[in-house]
Amino acid sequence: MVDLSTDCGGIKSPNPFWLASAPPTNSAYQVCKAFEAGWGGAVWKTIGAPVMNVVNRYAAIDYNGQKIIGLNNIELISDRSIEINLKEISETKKLWPERAVVASLMVESDRQIWHDIVKRTIDSGADGIELNYGCPHGMSERGMGSAVGQVPEYCSMITEWVTEVSTIPVIVKLTPNITDIRYPGRAAKKGGANAISLINTINTIMGVNLDTFEIEPSRGGKGGHGGYAGPAVKPIALHMVSEIARDPEINLPISAIGGISTWRDALEFILLGSSNVQVCTAAMHYGFRIIEDMIDGLTNWMEEKGFTSLDQVRGKALPNITSFGEMDLLYKAVAHIDEKKCIQCNLCYIACEDTAHQCIDLLPKDGKKQPTVREADCVGCRLCYIVCPVENCITMVRKENGGKPKTWNELVKELPQPMSLEDLRKFQHEHGIEIH
Amino acid sequence: MNNIAPKLSREQYEENFAELHPAFTPVAATAEANRCLYCFDSPCMKACPTHIDISTFIKKITTGNMKGSAKTILSSNWVALTCAKACPVNVLCEGACVYHAKGEEPIQIGRLQRYVMDWYVEKGMPQLFTPAPKNGKSVGIIGAGPSGLACAAELALMGYEAVIYEAKHVAGGLDTHGIAPYKMKQQDSLNEVKMVEKLGVTIKTGIRVGETISVNELVRKHDAIFLGVGLKTPTRLGIPGEELNGVHDALTFIEKVTTRKWNLVDVGKRVAVIGAGNTAIDAATEAKRLGAEKVVMLYRRSEKEMPAYEFEFELAKKDGIEFQFLTTPKRIFGNGKVEAVECLKMELGEKDSEGRRKPKPVPGSEFQIPIDMLIKSAGQNIEETFLSGIPGLKTADGVVVVNSETLQTTNNKFFAGGDCINGGKEVVNASADGKKAAHGIDNFIFGRGK
Ligand SMILES: Cc1cc2nc3c(=O)[nH]c(=O)nc-3n(C[C@H](O)[C@H](O)[C@H](O)COP(=O)(O)OP(=O)(O)OC[C@H]3O[C@@H](n4cnc5c(N)ncnc54)[C@H](O)[C@@H]3O)c2cc1C
Ligand SMILES: Cc1cc2nc3c(=O)[nH]c(=O)nc-3n(C[C@H](O)[C@H](O)[C@H](O)COP(=O)(O)O)c2cc1C
Ligand code: SF4
Ligand code: SF4
Ligand code: SF4
């Protein structure tokens, strides 16, 4: 039997799929409907300071006929009152005791105001609190959201104000609009957080109208930056999650967010160390029903692989992340084209010829031209592999070089420092690597 | 004609002649265009007789550069709208698309080309090309079919005075008078004619060279002549009863159908079509769509030898056309009006020079098919009488002899292209020829190039 239940910093849920704090979790009506569909938890739409929204809040990038590869928004936090939100949280929790209901909070940077809202949240019966340090628009201009997340000192200070009165777990939600995500992560830890969630949205301008010169989407002629989410941000989120997961100073459970649309996406984050995942854009695109395949697909994968709990999976990919200095410089692979699969679109040829290393030839074959890799000159950059439209047509074939692996960090120790190009060339030459 | 099939309602006609390949919506066009792999040195481009840079024009659709896309298309093919709708794409560009090798549906190149050309027409066909300054030379073009139009357009662009002489009162050749209405509208062809005129080409309609004006006069007026005269109306079957009321030749019948005044075109309830080429199939399906109850095609060889394209054959079968293979008409019966056709069964004998097995009659196999209308479509020929009036012009195997590089005929002032040099191929071949001949002419007059 596969058990999908998770515990993130003390907040339990029957499966790892939570709705992220966003429009899908605006109200009790929506959250209850989501729970009915099967979602394991929900982080309520952020509540707190009074706000007023504008229209045309969203914009999306479509790519090659695919809708919403990335979604941008300038929605503020909940525009409903704190009272109504807490009341509905309370009602929802009573109806769904075994699902996780987390309140997302954002108020002015005032210790008393924070104390007050934390206490009221605890009284509502919520399972935990998420601190929104991420919202990159509107709220940040008022000194909240990412204005906090971008300054580690504020981050730890406010977290401390919350944890000093909270009796329920506190998750700190980080903004990716920062150079090194580990600093606010460490600050959250310092402030006593029980878990970290990331990423919030990324600052973006979605487009410029070529007729009116307005920013897309335009609100009465004006536009501006908003927060970017959806499938396009997943790789950024994967990296940031792995940074938090690998940092020995942090060592906190992670709730991963950013471009998660399927169980496969979710698994990648779990393999990089996250306890559970949160979803927004995918739900906004297709509705709550996507949870069915998320649970089903994950369960089937676990069964197939022989796992019974997510604890057996969590972090399994982390040991495979390393720094450049630890990679084997002598690992050799060259591109190989399977001529039986090749459809002769010549995309590999032109990519290599114009923008790589000129090592694919068009050789005559059966009255046509067959792209063929000149292995001796292939540097193994993998460009042809990524442009080829036919699955498994180009493979990167491992070439035995007979020698032992050598990393850059080892090489630095062996060669006289500062390293000269001549010494490096000599090393390369000894190992059959020629730079043209 | 006996038993004229009842006329249909306007709606029914429109439904029967609805487009086989309807226009893309913008979203669908972009999605399809994005599926194109943008192959380098693409096989689709090689397979198009006019070598349209297909991957480039499709890429431009994806970026919303419709004008650039139209220009890419037109710079290779002056009748690209007709081609987009009428080309047998599955044996040309789409047939060569690399997606076949991937086991997937090819890119719908024809429909995408149409999407761009429709846009261009809708925008009022803005000028995309700047003709070179006049070079003082003049070329006479005989025939305003696709080959003549393409040749004239290309010459006008190079600075020539280009004058087309067209026997009919409306230009466009078979693009206007031949292509099935469920493939394209006559108006599409007329738009294309307008486009060519906009480049500075003069089209004189209602002038049959050899009758209205002599070949000699043309030779005096122009520095070179292009022959884009196509083929002449079908040959006679040479069987008794051909003069009966209700016997039609396919092209005359088809020409009436292209006018889209379908209620004015009579068809019999029971129709026989003689032949099994693409034209015969068009005539049969058009008769059926006009309301004929039963249409049967008579072909003297077997299905295997049928000259029509596979997809045309499929279309006919879908339309409920019946096929009588190994059958030839012997005589047509009727009392003033057609009543029946007497046929003979055939069997295939030895192979002829082209490797096709020769059909021969089975003695005593006569049988009759009761019909009200008979449509003849048993091949077309070049206009020997007209062509023999051009001194030194050689024909062989039923086509005008040309140099395949320059399309110059054996009379060095005369060039030729289209159906009259290939015996009847496609619009796109005629278009490619017209352009090629324009360069052959330019080379002849100025001795440029090779
Ligand atoms: C019924 C039918 C359906 C077809 N359907 C398709 C199709 O779906 N797709 C496709 O690609 N191709 C199709 N074709 C073929 C295509 O129409 C021809 O290959 C093409 O039109 C040939 O072009 P052309 O310029 O050589 O000749 P034409 O189009 O035949 O034009 C010749 C012109 O020259 C004029 N002319 C002839 N003699 C003289 C003279 N002495 N003086 C002045 N003018 C003269 C004629 O009036 C005519 O307008 C079809 C053909 C037929 C008959
Ligand atoms: C393979 C690759 C190598 C790059 N190398 C450099 C580099 O050497 N110097 C640099 O300033 N940027 C480098 N960049 C970043 C690009 O200049 C550019 O800023 C980035 O790719 C974003 O632009 P894009 O979205 O158009 O790719 C590189 C990008 C790629 C894809
Ligand atoms: S990209 Fe792939 S399919 Fe295309 S030519 Fe190269 S190997 Fe063949
Ligand atoms: S002209 Fe005809 S063959 Fe050429 S690309 Fe267009 S549709 Fe295809
Ligand atoms: S062969 Fe097909 S995929 Fe390649 S450029 Fe042509 S249409 Fe596009």
Tell me what ipTM this predicted complex has.
0.71
Q: Which residues contact B207 (CB under 8 A, 6 or more apart)?
A: B165, B166, B167, B213
Task: Enter the DSSP assignment of A208.
Answer: B
DSSP state of A25: G
Q: Is residue B92 part of a domain?
A: yes
Nearest CA to ligand 4 atom 8: B93
Q: What pLDDT is recorded for position B448?
A: 63
Q: How close, in Å, is residue A214 to chain B by CA atoms?
A: 18
Please tell me the distance from the alpha carbon of residue B275 to that of residue B234, in angstroms, as a whole number. 11
User: What total of structural domains would you count in chain B?
Assistant: 3
The residue of chain A nearest to residue B103, with distances taken between CA atoms, is A343
Which residues form the domain of B318?
Answer: 247-376
Q: Which chain B residues contact residue A345 at CB under 8 A?
A: 37, 39-40, 42, 98
| Distance of alpha carbon B141 from alpha carbon B423, whole angstroms | 19
Q: What is the pTM of this model?
A: 0.84
Residue A39's pLDDT is what? 98
**pLDDT of res. B234:** 66
Reported as a single tens digit per residue, the pLDDT across A220-276 is 899 999 999 999 999 999 999 999 999 999 999 999 999 999 999 999 999 999 999
Instruction: Judge whether B8 lies within some domain.
Output: no
Query: Can you give the three-state secondary structure of A320-365, one letter per residue?
Result: HCCCHHHCECCCEEEEEECCCCCCCCCHHHHHHHHHCCCCEEEEEE
Residue that has been written with the tokens 């941008």 in this structure:
A72
Q: Which residue has the tokens 């025939």?
A: B143
Task: Read off the tokens for B158.
Answer: 């190079």
Q: What span, in angstroms and rounded, lies between the C-alpha atoms of A229 and A258?
A: 6
Last residue of a domain, one of B376, B394, B429: B376
User: Are B53 and B116 in the same domain?
Assistant: yes
In a domain, B279, yes or no: yes
**CATH number of the domain encompassing residue B438:** 3.50.50.60
Question: Which positions in chain A touch B35 (Cβ < 8 Å)?
Answer: 64-65
What is the CA B102 to chain-centroid distance, rounded? 32
Burial of residue A67, with CB atoms counted within 10 A of its CB: 0-12 exposed, 13-18 middle, 19 or more buried? exposed
Q: Stretch A301-324: mean pLDDT, rounded?
A: 96
Nearest to B85 by CA among B192, B225, B219, B230: B192
Name the residue with the closest Cα to ligand 5, atom 6.
Answer: B44
For residue A148, is it within any domain? yes
CATH number (domain holding residue B84): 1.10.1060.10
Rounded to a whole number of angstroms, the distance from the CA of A434 to the nearest CA of chain B is: 29
How far is the CA of A252 from the CAs of A241, B286, B418, B429, in angstroms?
11, 76, 77, 71
Centroid of chain to Cα B103: 31
Tally the residues of chain B: 450
Instruction: At B62, list the tokens.
Output: 């994806």
pLDDT (tens digit per residue) in A140-175:
888 888 888 899 999 999 999 999 999 999 999 999
Residue B447: predicted pLDDT:
85
Q: Decide if A1 is inside a domain.
A: no
CB-side neighbour CA atoms (13 Å) of B346: 21
List, as one string, the DSSP characters of B126-163: -----PPPP-S-EEEEE--SHHHHHHHHHHHHTT-EEE
pLDDT at A136: 81
Which atom of ligand 1 lies at the shortest distance from residue B434's CA?
25
Indicate yes or no: CB of B38 within 8 angstroms of CB of A64: no
In a domain, B9, yes or no: no
Please choose from B168, B229, B254 the residue to mutate so as to test ligand 1's pocket, defined by most ligand atoms within 8 A of CB: B229
pLDDT value at position A366?
Answer: 87
pLDDT at A73: 94
Q: Are residues B266 and B352 in the same domain?
A: yes
Q: Could you list the residue range(s) of the whole structural domain that residue A272 is in?
A: 6-317
Mean pLDDT score, A176-196: 97
Smallest CA-to-CA distance from A59 within A47, A48, A74 is with A74
Q: Mind listing the pLDDT tens digit of every residue in chain B (450 residues)? A: 899 999 999 999 999 999 998 999 998 999 999 999 999 999 999 999 999 999 999 999 988 899 999 999 999 999 999 999 999 999 999 999 999 999 999 999 999 999 999 999 999 999 999 999 999 999 999 999 999 999 999 999 999 999 999 999 999 999 999 999 999 999 999 999 999 999 999 999 999 999 999 999 999 999 999 999 999 876 678 899 999 999 999 999 999 999 999 999 999 999 999 998 999 999 999 999 999 999 999 999 999 888 899 999 999 999 999 999 999 999 999 999 999 999 999 998 888 877 778 889 999 999 999 999 999 997 788 998 899 999 999 999 999 999 999 999 999 999 999 999 999 999 999 999 999 999 999 999 998 644
State the closest ligand 3 atom to the C-alpha of A347, by its place in the atom list counted from 1: 1
Indicate which of B46, B98, B99 best probes the interface with A, i.e. most A CBs within 10 Å of its own CB. B98
